[in-house]
Amino acid sequence: MWGGRFAEGPSAVMREINASLPFDKQLWRQDIAGSKAHVAMLGATGIVSAEDAAAIGAGLDRVAADYQANGVPADDLTLEDIHMLTEARLADAIGPVAGRLHTARSRNDQVATDFRLWVRDAIDAVVAALEGLDAALLARAEQHAADVMPGFTHLQSAQPVTLGHHLMAYHEMVTRDLSRFRDARARLNLCPLGAAALAGTSFPIDRHATADALGFDGPTRNSLDSVSDRDFAIEYLTSAVQCSLHLSRLAEEFVLWASQPFGFVALSDAWSTGSSIMPQKRNPDAAELVRGHAGRILGCMTSLMVTMKGLPLAYSKDMQDDKPPAFEAHDLLGLSIAAMTGMVASATFRTDRMRALAESGFATATDLADWLVREAGLPFREAHHVTGRVVKRAEELAVTLDALPLDEMTAIDRRIDARVFDVLSVDASVASRTSFGGTAPDNVRAAIRAAQGDAA
């Protein structure tokens, strides 16, 4: 392609380090789409004859059909990237007129356009997958809106909540993830095509036409920034990292809950594995792999950020390494979302075990303190102190708070009376948490209805 300037060809090592075809062949659909929009514009503006534009467009369709049927060959590294391969295949199909396709564009604006199109497609795929995960979370939350479980801080039993409320916390995380991906998509949706190498072109091109043809909101506004910007890929990766952290937290809970000490959940056979030596084992490997993928996705984001951090304008060959981390992160994130969706949808939640543990650990102690404030008029700090003494006595007698005899409580503070038993059960505790965003079953059901309405 650029041999006119050089007397000798590149060395074998140079050819290998310089070639991106083995990985950027993934962009072939976007490359064909961008090329078709470009040549249609060349024909419409008269830069290329209508006859030549039609021949090139038809030839690109033939190349695309061949890629679709037979895959993209990546064995000839003299064709450095998907752009050169496609142009060579086009020349094989229609002859020298294929050389007119590259009029008024550069590989710099071509790859920037292709990559934006790919990231846009990737975001659309992730959004669809996250909507599926969210639907699974909402369905299981609705099913378990009133089922009591222990809520934890420091992984210690803290206050009773409902399983539905717990699952809805992950709905909130997914909602934020969806917002981040959608915001990133809105920002990336400008078209670099026509910026050429870095300075624009002297041909009378119509950049608005190519932007419209490719579904962009308009063309990018500065030719230097057009070819050197990779913010859109970094935003995609930062959104992917945050999403993967949420998935990892949910995966970690499934790992803990599936263990015998917790016993909160049984994962289906579809999302479990066994042991090569221990026949009794039932391992939550899918959840563990989702947890592990989060670290790899974070590494992908770091890789691209470090690549871009010191590059002067406009294009540098370092930027060829922008695509592998995006491709890898996208594949890992897609697997992670699919796995967590499957686990959430098919898990058997052992609500009897959850309730039993919620009833242990004095999880309604805060309810006793609140009762002392409301009904006995104690300042909260004094109520906290009294409650601590009551808990200590229940612990000494090895009983739950709602099973502690009233005379034991009145011996600690005479202001406690029989009405206190109205608030000491776990059901009474969760039912009382009616503040906006609280765990009361009616609150949970209202939150689910609101979420379902937003999704409709």
Among 222, 283, 294, residue whose Cα is nearest residue 258: 283
User: Does residue 156 sit in helix, strand or coil?
Assistant: strand
CA distance to 89, 100, 194, 442, per residue, from 56 (Å): 11, 8, 18, 63
Catalytic residue among 154, 202, 276, 435: 154
Annotate 226-274 with DSSP letters as a single string.
Answer: HHH--HHHHHHHHHHHHHHHHHHHHHHHHHHHHSTTT--EE--GGG-B-
13, containing H or E segment? helix 12-18
CA pair distance 125, 338, nearest whole angstrom: 11
Peptide bond into 314 cis (omega under 30): yes
- DSSP code at position 153: E
CA pair distance 78, 72, nearest whole angstrom: 15
- The helix-helix angle for 231-258 and 285-308 (nearest 10°) equals 160
The residue type at 358: A
CA pair distance 191, 171, nearest whole angstrom: 33
Tokens at residue 317, please? 């060959």
Among 247, 432, 399, residue whose Cα is nearest residue 332: 247
CA distance to 81, 129, 182, 271, per residue, from 341 (Å): 36, 9, 20, 11
- The helix-helix angle for 28-45 and 107-143 (nearest 10°) equals 130
Decide: 308 and 230 in contact? Cβ < 8 Å: yes
Respond yes or no: is residue 275 known to be catalytic: yes
Respond yes or no: is residue 432 known to be catalytic: no
Catalytic residue among 11, 49, 259, 275: 275
Residues 6+ apart with CB under 8 A from 70: none
184: left (phi over 0), alpha (psi -120 to 50) or beta: alpha
Per-state percent for the chain, helix, strand, coil, to nearest 5 = 70, 5, 25
CA distance to 329, 332, 374, per residue, from 326 (Å): 5, 10, 56
Q: Which residues are catalytic?
A: 154, 275
